[in-house]
Each structure stands twice: as C-alpha cells, then as structure tokens.
Amino acid sequence: MKTAIIIGCEGQDGRIAFDLLLQKQYRILGISRGGVRCAGIDWDQAVDITREEDVLHLSKAVKADEIYYLAACHQSSQDRLRDESDLLKESHAVNVEGLLYFCEGIKKYSPKARLFYAASSLIYEGTDTTMQDEQTPFCPQSIYGMTKLNGLLLCRYYRDRYGVFASSGILYNHESHYRGDNFISTRIIKAALNIKEGNQDSLALGDLSAQVDWGYAPDYVAAMHQILNSHHTDDFIIASGTTHSVRDFVMITFDLLGLDWKKYVREDRSIVMRSRKVLKGNPKKLMEQIGWRPTVNFQGMIRVLLQAQGALV
C-alpha cells in the first residue's frame, strides 16, 4: 500500500487528489491551513509548511511514496487588494519555501519519494507565442507567476543536482464544482442557475471574447498521478491544447438550461479578468511520454458542473 502526502488538501486539486488516491487505496496525509486530514495514517500533529523543522520532522516520520505539493498563495482580480510586499512574502513562503523544505526532506530522509509540484501557466503570461510548450521562454508578470516559476526551477535544481524525483506540472485553467465563487466559471454556472430559478435577473461579465484554455480538473489531477507513476521526472504542460471564449462558456451553459443567454448577460469591459493574455498550452509531451489523455471535453465539463449543482440529469 502506497503512502501519499497532499499539501493543500482543501483546495480544488487537493480535494480531488485525496478522493482519487483514496479510491486507489493509498494511505493519505492531507495538509491544509486548517489542519490535517488522514486516511489510514495516525497523525494528529499540525504541520506548518513554512517551518522547516515541521516539514523535516514529517518527512522523517512519514516516508511517503508520493508528495503532491498543491498549496498556493495568489490573488485574483476579484480579491481585495493587498499590500504587495506582504503578498510577495506570503507567496514566496507558500509557493517556494515550503517546497524547498519538502525537497530537503526527500533528500535527507526519503530518497525514493516522488514529488509533484503544481506550477502555473502564468509563468508564460508575458509571452507573444500563440501556443506554449515546455521550451517556451518564461515570462511571468505577477507575484504569483514569479513565485510559481521559482518553484519549478527549484524542482529542476533538486532533480539535476541530487537526483530527486521532482516533477512540475504547468497547469492551465481547470474547473470542477470545487471552484470558489471568485472564479468566472463558478460565477457563470451559479448565475445561470439563479436566473433559471427566478432568483437573479442578469449577469455582468467582462470581455466576452476573452479566450481561455479550459480543462476538467479531475483529468488534470489524474495527470499528476500518472506523472508520479511514470519513468519520467520532468516539467510537463497540463492543458487542453484548445481555447474557448467566455462567450462560448456562457452560450453552452445557458443553452443546456434552456435559456437564451442574450436576454440575461451583458458585457462590462470595466470588469477585468486576471490575465488578458491568451494562453494555450501544448500537452503533446505529456501525452507522448506519460500517455495522458483528457476524458471530458469543454461542453462535457460544463455539463458536469451543472450536474454537480443538481441542474441536469
């Protein structure tokens, strides 16, 4: 029976990963800001991933087969603005320092452990390419993108210098019913349902022509598991390889509910998405080396999101 540690177990990907590994009969220790969640492991101590002694103690006591570093600190365009200095310190602590301590823990106490790090497509935010692959020059434009890039480079360093199995997944947008209300996918789904039920009159969105590379989150978490159970430790883009507009998302959602979206949705260009840059990832390397294939397409993803809300059979 394998043992896994999931850092960020209460986030979207962490919750999906916990359920996936539970189905595969792993022993699991999940770590979040709120505490720990265990399945098959007797562990009741709090773990602060920004404290080196906590992480090294955990690494020595629980020699995990797989570590999923899914914790992240970021600020979306919908969040209250924070002092940038404070945001940078916290982002570096969560997105980089905690990762460093787990890499050290593997090096010192658990050399057979395999680590997956959740990086982000925003490491390419300033690119002028129409599609990004693993050879695309990095060009982060935000604190989040910058610290996620630092985490990816840290994995490369430990991989090349110490032989640690530390793979990074460069994740593009991926959705599930666990998404928070500050994400546009959730806003559209919930507004459409409210309109259908007569509890809301309209929905204002930003640029409806904005293009996004959207995928289904459980497919992307499955990719993480496949990467850690392959012979290849490297950096991999996890993406759909296609883009759809916000308008496409709206049209499909309202159509599935039997509504004419044009009667209810208005465009308000003063509402700014987190990134105006069109980012589209090329998952060819992941498909060829790991054998990953998505199981749910764009329309299917929206259908699943509505089904999760009890809206469709």
> For residues 185 and 214, what is the distance between their CA atoms, to the nearest angstrom?
10
Per-residue pLDDT of the chain (313 residues; tens, 9 = 90+): 999 999 999 999 999 999 999 999 999 999 999 899 999 999 989 999 999 999 999 999 999 999 999 999 866 544 455 688 999 999 999 999 999 999 999 999 999 999 999 999 999 999 999 999 999 999 999 999 999 999 999 999 999 999 999 999 999 999 999 999 989 999 999 999 999 999 999 999 999 999 999 999 999 999 999 999 999 999 999 999 999 999 999 999 999 999 999 999 999 987 876 556 799 999 999 999 999 999 999 999 999 999 999 887 5
What pLDDT is recorded for position 273?
A: 62
3-state secondary structure at position 197: coil
Q: DSSP letter string over 20-32?
A: HHHHTT-EEEEEE
Cβ neighbours around 43 below 10 Å, total? 16
Taking alpha carbons only, the member of 132, 158, 157 closest to residue 145 is 132
Distances from the Cα of 112 to the Cαs of 80, 105, 218, in angstroms?
42, 11, 26
Q: Where are the domains of the chain?
A: 3-176+215-241+279-295, 184-210+244-277+302-308
Residue whose pair of structure tokens reads 């029976």 in the numeric block: 1
Q: 189-201 burial by CB neighbour count: b if 16+ within 10 A, else e?
A: bebbbebbeeeee
Please tell me the pTM assigned to this model. 0.95
| Exposure string over 130-150, b if 16+ CB within 10 A, otherwise e | ebbeeebebbbebbbbbbbbb
Q: List the Cα angle 145/170/304 in 5-degree steps.
A: 110
Return d(Cα 3, Cα 113) in angstroms, integer: 10
CATH classification for the domain delimited by 3-176+215-241+279-295, as one of 1.10.287.1080, 3.40.50.720, 3.30.70.1900, 3.30.300.30: 3.40.50.720
Neighbouring-strand partners of residue 1: none
Q: Name residues whose C-beta falls within 8 Å of residue 278's C-beta, 6 or more positions apart in sequence.
A: 130, 210, 211, 243
Specify the CATH number of the domain 184-210+244-277+302-308: 3.90.25.10
Q: What is the pLDDT of residue 78?
A: 43
As a whole number of angstroms, the distance between CA 119 and CA 48 comes to: 20
